[in-house]
């Protein structure tokens, strides 16, 4: 598995005890203030996203940590697009022009890790962990891009393998840091509230009962008395807790037809946090574009403010 590329020369490692790298001169030594704003978005190709207006969006959002999925570009491309002031961690996919995950932050990560699952399992471009020190506290952040899958094909098998590995890793992350968050395009709608046309998608990848069962194990089944409040592995779906029992808010819409204008979407982009971190949330925004022609990805950013 290839190691992650990084603009700040942070060491790739699997040992949480590894020493921190010195910060890049253009990057602050620490996050400022108690508010930590974390944004996550599947950019569907970061170069195209910037051509369509992502740079303007980013300049207006005062983000501290930015998680990207489907980067589909080089680390040098990311450096050029984001500009100075960002420490960039990037794990590209094995196949050029596919997948790719990144974390860009205003402070250099102490350590980052890219391994997930067994050694022979290729998760390159789909899982990137980083540890940050924020006001003396350890914050672990993961940018992940789960396979979209396709029923009855090897793509679906790979998706289940990835989700299995993710389930094994989540308790380890929580043990490593009680303030951890998994961000990204998880390509599963957990509940009927998460897909506008859920009845028409019950046999499609992304809303299969087998896929949704993984989320039952992570945050609890919908009918569980402690759903999203300690059930399952004890992680919290921040978006559902903050938004309540409403449709969506959706985070992905097809480019085709009137899906965006009619809000016929899917909520498949998440911030899954440990209980301690979820308890510190002070704001949650699905940053939907005002109009179809203002979109720069088929996904929209999910932005959460935490108090550290």
Average pLDDT over residues 85-109: 92
Q: How confident is the model at residue 1 (pLDDT cuts 50, 70, 90)?
A: very low
- 248: nearest Cα among 181, 177, 299: 299
Q: Is residue 209 part of a domain?
A: yes
The residue that leads in pLDDT, 25 or 141, is 141
CB 252 within 8 A of CB 201: no
Return the structure tokens found at 41.
């978005």
Domain with 62, as residue range(s), is 34-307
Return the structure tokens found at 43.
């950019």
Number of domains in the chain: 1
For CA atoms 35, 36, 40, 45, the dihedral sign is positive
Q: Is residue 63 part of a domain?
A: yes
Q: CB neighbours (10 Å) of residue 280? A: 16
Q: Is residue 77 part of a domain?
A: yes
Letter string b/e over residues 183-215, b meaning 16 or more CB atoms within 10 A of that residue's CB: bbbbbbbbbebbbbeeeebeeebbbbeebbebb
Which pLDDT tens digit goes with each residue over 230-266? Answer: 999 999 999 999 999 999 999 999 999 999 999 999 9
CATH of the domain at 221: 3.60.10.10
Give the pTM.
0.90
Beta strands in the chain (DSSP E): 5-6, 35-42, 65-69, 87-91, 101-105, 111-113, 127-134, 137-145, 180-185, 236-237, 269-273, 281-286, 302-307
Helix (H) / strand (E) element for 211: namely: helix 209-219
Q: Is residue 25 part of a domain?
A: no
Which pLDDT tens digit goes with each residue over 155-179? Answer: 999 999 999 999 999 999 999 999 9
Q: Is residue 8 part of a domain?
A: no
Q: Is residue 24 part of a domain?
A: no
CB 115 within 8 A of CB 124: no
Residue 124 pLDDT: 82
Sheet of strand 281-286: strand arrangement: 5-6, 87-91, 101-105, 65-69, 35-42, 302-307, 281-286
Average pLDDT over residues 6-20: 34
Flag whether pLDDT at 110 surpasses 60. yes
Q: Is residue 26 part of a domain?
A: no
CB 16 within 8 A of CB 115: no
Return all residues near 277 (Cβ < 8 A) that are at least 6 apart: 139, 178, 179, 180, 181, 306
Which pLDDT tens digit goes with each residue over 33-75? Answer: 899 999 999 999 999 999 999 999 999 999 999 999 999 999 9
Q: Is residue 48 part of a domain?
A: yes
Nearest 5°: the CA angle 131, 134, 136 is 105
Listed range (85-99, 168-182, 285-299) with the worst mean pLDDT: 85-99
* Local structure of 237: helix, strand or coil: strand
């Amino acid at each position: 598995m290839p190691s992650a590329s990084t603009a700040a020369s942070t060491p790739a490692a699997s040992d949480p005890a590894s020493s921190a790298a010195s910060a890049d001169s253009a990057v602050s030594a620490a996050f400022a203030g108690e508010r930590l704003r974390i944004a996550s978005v599947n950019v569907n190709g970061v170069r195209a996203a910037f051509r369509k207006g992502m740079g303007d969006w980013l300049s207006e959002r005062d983000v501290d940590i930015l998680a990207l999925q489907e980067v589909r570009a080089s680390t040098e491309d990311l450096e050029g697009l984001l500009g100075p002031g960002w420490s960039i961690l990037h794990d590209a996919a094995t196949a050029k022009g596919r997948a790719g995950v990144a974390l860009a932050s205003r402070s250099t990560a102490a350590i980052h890790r890219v391994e997930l699952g067994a050694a022979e399992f290729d998760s390159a471009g789909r899982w990137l962990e980083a540890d940050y020190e924020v006001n003396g506290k350890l914050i672990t952040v993961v940018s992940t891009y789960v396979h979209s899958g396709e029923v009855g094909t090897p793509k679906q098998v790979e998706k289940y393998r990835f989700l299995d590995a993710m389930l094994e890793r989540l308790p380890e992350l929580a043990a490593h840091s009680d303030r951890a968050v998994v961000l990204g395009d998880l390509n599963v709608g957990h509940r009927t509230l998460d897909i506008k046309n859920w009845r028409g998608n019950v046999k499609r990848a992304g809303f299969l009962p087998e896929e949704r069962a993984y989320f039952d194990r992570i945050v609890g089944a919908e009918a569980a008395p402690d759903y999203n409040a300690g059930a399952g592995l004890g992680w919290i779906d921040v978006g559902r807790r903050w938004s309540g029992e409403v449709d969506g808010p959706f985070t992905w819409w097809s480019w085709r037809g009137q899906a965006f204008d009619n809000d016929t979407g899917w909520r498949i982009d998440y911030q899954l946090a440990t209980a301690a971190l979820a308890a510190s949330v002070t704001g949650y925004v699905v940053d939907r574009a005002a109009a179809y022609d203002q979109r720069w990805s088929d996904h929209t950013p999910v932005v959460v403010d935490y108090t550290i």
